[in-house]
Structure 1
Amino acid sequence: MDRYSGLLGIAVFVLVGVALSSDRRRIRWRLVVSGLLLQLAIAAACLGDFLPGGGLVGVIDAIARGFTRVISFADAGTEFIFGKLGDAGGSWGFIFAVKVMPVIIFFAALMSVLYHLRVMQVVVAGVAWVLRRALGVTGAEAISAAANIFVGQTEAPLMVRPYIAGMTKSQLMAIMTGGFATIAGSVMAAYVGLLGGETDEGRVLFAKHLLTASVMSAPAGLVMAKLMFPESETPRDESLGSLLKAERTSANVIDAAVVGAGDGLKLALNVAAMLVAFVALIALIDWPLRQIGDGWSLSRALGVVFRPAAWLMGVPWEESGKFGSLLGTQVIATEFKAYLDLSKFIADGTMSGRACQIGTYALCGFANIPSIGIQIGGLSAMAPERRQDLVRLAPRAMLAGALACWTTGAIAGVFIG
């Protein structure tokens, strides 16, 4: 029965997007249907072991194991700097700054090297080609959406930077929504360790789900963007080849690694600062609420507000309140805080395995209030003349990104048994 509520959730989230559309008459339903079918196909291939030959489950498992193995190499750097503190099995337990931040730095350096070697450009071009053929979006929209699978919300638009100033508002909406609907590869690597714990099986399981969620959210972001802000102008369309002819920004592999490590450090410090601020602010809000009565908290209030959305993703009603608090935390704080709370539910067993796995999909995006400022600042630096448009579109794009994540969660809920 819970799986059927996931099917209902897909329809409801799409209808919400239609209700909030700037021009319902211009909605391209072929794009919407194609995007949803592409999401369903990805989920079926990656999660549908009922398919002949098990679909792509075996391939995805192998990729997840390889991804987990690569992430584990960060432990060497962590141990060199922090010594035994990197061992979560010690009496000091799991130390966030020691176990998570080095992974972000290492993976950012690795991604920078892969971009310098043009490995990632080939991968991004392949994904963009599929998105363009399946959904009929412009080359810039496809490239940015594909890049968002691997890099962050302000890094992906760099691949189409020369074209941002001349983009239509609908294209800007698609670029921004794609950033809100996905996460960066560097923080994805951190979430694998955070959710999977110290066991290889746990890390591989959540690596598989996070990888699948990131790929699914690329078409989901485009669908929600085009639902809520359909194209009403004539966009300039460029070939994928011309969009990917960017010059190298690093001199060599060593330079790329150094630059990537520096960027990773900035990101890790930003994550740490955001968590310190928002965990403290939530504690501040909880203090007067607890004076009202036992059990009152911001988390509980968010659980009540977002409980229907949780149930629409296929989460059992008895768990939907706790799940809803995760959705609310993601929106008002950050997905990192929400994943941190989810990791506690996993560790203490207070949420079922199925709900935790659906949560991995629903939270897999930067769709939160703090990210609005990040996107406006990042994109405005690339195209200062479009700042006013970006400011107006940002809240709508954040909401579209959240709906895209929830749609991905609902689709995952249909396939996760």
Structure 2
Amino acid sequence: MSQLTGLLGVAVLIGIAMLFSTNRKAVRPRIVLVGFGLQLVLAFLLIRFGPVRDAFEFLATIVTKLLGFSHKGGDFIFGNLNQLGHPWGFVFAFQVLPTIVFFASLMSILYHLGVMQRIVAALAWVLEKTLGVTGTEALAAAANVFVGQTEAPLCIKPYLPRMTQSQIMLIMTGGFATIAGSVLAAYVGLLGGDDVESQTMFAKHLLTASVMSAPGAFVMAKILLPETEQPEPETTVRPVDVERGTVNILDAAAAGATDGMKLAINVAAMLIAFVALIALADWPLGAIGTTSAGQWVASVLGLETLSISGLLGVLFTPVAWLMGIRGHDAVAIGELLGIGMVATEFLAYSSLREMIAEESISPRAAIIVTYALCGFANFPSIAIQIGGLTAIAPERRSDFARLGLRAMFGGALTCWMTGCIASLFIQV
């Protein structure tokens, strides 16, 4: 019965989006119904349908194999510190950050060779034909599945200055609802540890979540800010025409490694800052929790003591419940969802890794929240995306800034809807 709760979750999340819509009458039913239907079909094919599921498991095996190659580079620089068997245990900086550098370099090579452009074009064609959206919207949404929220808009750079508010909303929501390929690999290493079978399992689910969230982003974006303007006519949009900034494979590998290094440093800086800020916020909350009033509030909320993570768990427990997660698991998953939005998904996945290691949550809950966290829908990413888009189209800076929070909210709703739909098919 808890599995069927996912359908109720989808209805509630779409209802919340309608509540915050700028123009409910302008919402196109086709995008909502077809977008949800496409997510449902993708979930069935990728999670339960044998031939397609096996194909995705093969892709997951490749990701896991590539993950092993990234560790070779880390071993050369960090030596024994990069081995999970050393007395220090799991060290985030050694185990995860080198993966980002390697996969960023690999993605850069694939883009230089034109491989990724053709994959993106195929997915964009499916989205354009099924959802009835413009080519630029479909292309940007498809690119978001494979690259980051600041790189994907480069595919539509010539069109961005003239796009409508609704189109910009879709571009930004898609960026928040998905993750970059380089970061996906880092999540696989983080969640799977040194167990190849576990790595492959999480790789399969993360790949599935990325693909499922693409049509979901259309649903939420077009509800929150439906199209009321007249988009400019566009010529055929081809991702293969995107200018390549590298001259050969070696240049592409080096440029990708440099970009990966910047991303890895940014991830490390974000984690240091937000872990420290959460600890800072817990300090006064802990003091309040020692008072009689604080103890009463904690007992009413079902907490041992007041803390940011505990309060987030209480706040987001209903969202976890809508994904078919019950009991203690719902509170724990609610905490992860809250951390993922307030801080970063990296911090949430790090906490999930600890829960998995301690076996404090069920395997099914762990897989469902893996889907629900698979996106950049958090407050720090708002500034990152606004900055990246402004660099491409500075004349639209005010539009990006005005839509940032709404688009992030749309991205979060998309990820949660992906979790709800995945819960219908996950049996552990």
Counterpart-to-counterpart distance in 2, 1:319 and 1:143: 38
Q: Cα 1:37–1:240, aligned 2, differ >3 Å: closer, same or farther?
A: farther
Residue 34 of structure 1 pairs with residue 34 of structure 2: yes
Q: Aligned pairs, how many? A: 413
Instruction: Give CA-to-partner distance per residue, 1:386-409, whole Å, 9 cap, x none.
Output: 111111111110000000000000
Residue 304 of structure 1 pairs with residue 324 of structure 2: no
Offset of residue 243 of structure 1? 4.8
Instruction: Give CA-to-partner distance per residue, 1:55-112, whole Å, 9 cap, x none.
Output: 5121111111111111210011111111111111111111111110100000000000
Give the residue type in structure 1 aligned to 2:373: L
Which residue among 191, 211, 216 is the counterpart of 2:212?
A: 216
Residue 13 of structure 1 pairs with residue 13 of structure 2: yes
Which residue among 118, 124, 127 is the counterpart of 2:120?
A: 124
The aligned runs of 1:70-219 (5 Å cut-off) are: 70-219=66-215
Residue number in structure 2 paired with 1:235:
231
Counterpart-to-counterpart distance in 1, 2:396 and 2:260: 28
> Does structure 2 retain, via aligned residues, the 8 Å contact 1:112–1:260?
yes
Structure 1 residue matching 2:324: 3-state secondary structure: coil
Counterpart-to-counterpart distance in 2, 1:57 and 1:160: 32
Counterpart-to-counterpart distance in 2, 1:334 and 1:205: 22
> Does structure 1 retain, via aligned residues, the 8 Å contact 2:120–2:239?
no
> Does structure 2 retain, via aligned residues, the 8 Å contact 1:193–1:203?
yes
Residue number in structure 2 paired with 1:362:
372
Counterpart-to-counterpart distance in 2, 1:80 and 1:175: 39
Structure 1 stretches (4+) deviating beyond 3 angstroms? Answer: 237-244
Counterpart-to-counterpart distance in 1, 2:47 and 2:211: 13
> Does structure 2 retain, via aligned residues, the 8 Å contact 1:125–1:240?
no
Instruction: Give CA-to-partner distance per residue, 1:232-274, whole Å, 9 cap, x none.
Output: 1111353554454122210111000010000000000000000
Residue number in structure 2 paired with 1:396:
406
Which residue among 314, 332, 344 is the counterpart of 2:324?
A: 314
What fraction of aligned residue pairs are identical, expressed as a percent? 55
Provide the alpha-carbon RMSD of the alignment.
1.1
Give the residue type in structure 1 aligned to 2:322: L
Counterpart-to-counterpart distance in 2, 1:380 and 1:56: 39
> Does structure 2 retain, via aligned residues, the 8 Å contact 1:315–1:355?
yes
Q: Cα 1:171–1:244, aligned 2, differ >3 Å: closer, same or farther?
A: farther
Instruction: Give CA-to-partner distance per residue, 1:343-372, whole Å, 9 cap, x none.
Output: 111111001000000010000000001111
The aligned runs of 1:196-345 (5 Å cut-off) are: 196-291=192-287, 292-293=289-290, 294-345=304-355
Structure 2 residue matching 1:388: 3-state secondary structure: helix
Give the residue type in structure 1 aligned to 2:170: A
Q: Cα 1:244–1:139, aligned 2, differ >3 Å: closer, same or farther?
A: farther
Offset of residue 342 of structure 1? 0.6
Give the residue type in structure 2 aligned to 1:414: L
Counterpart-to-counterpart distance in 2, 1:143 and 1:240: 11
Instruction: Give CA-to-partner distance per residue, 1:29-75, whole Å, 9 cap, x none.
Output: 11111111110111001111xx4xx2512111111111111121001
Q: Give 5+ residue unaligned stretches, structure 2.
A: 291-303
Residue number in structure 2 paired with 1:378:
388
Deviates more, 1:264-273 or 1:231-240: 231-240
Counterpart-to-counterpart distance in 2, 1:147 and 1:317: 38
> Does structure 2 retain, via aligned residues, the 8 Å contact 1:64–1:208?
yes
- Normalised by the size of structure 1, how large is the TM-score? 0.97
Offset of residue 317 of structure 1? 3.3
Q: Give 5+ residue unaligned stretches, structure 1.
A: none
Instruction: Give CA-to-partner distance per residue, 1:288-347, whole Å, 9 cap, x none.
Output: 222214532100000111110110011113311111011110111011111111111111
Instruction: Give CA-to-partner distance per residue, 1:92-133, whole Å, 9 cap, x none.
Output: 111111110100000000000000000000000000000101
Deviates more, 1:207-216 or 1:56-65: 56-65
Give the residue type in structure 2 aligned to 1:389: D
> Does structure 2 retain, via aligned residues, the 8 Å contact 1:129–1:240?
no
Counterpart-to-counterpart distance in 2, 1:302 and 1:239: 47
Counterpart-to-counterpart distance in 2, 1:240 and 1:337: 41
Structure 2 residue matching 1:56: 3-state secondary structure: helix
Give the residue type in structure 2 aligned to 1:316: R
Counterpart-to-counterpart distance in 2, 1:183 and 1:242: 22
- Normalised by the size of structure 2, how large is the TM-score? 0.95
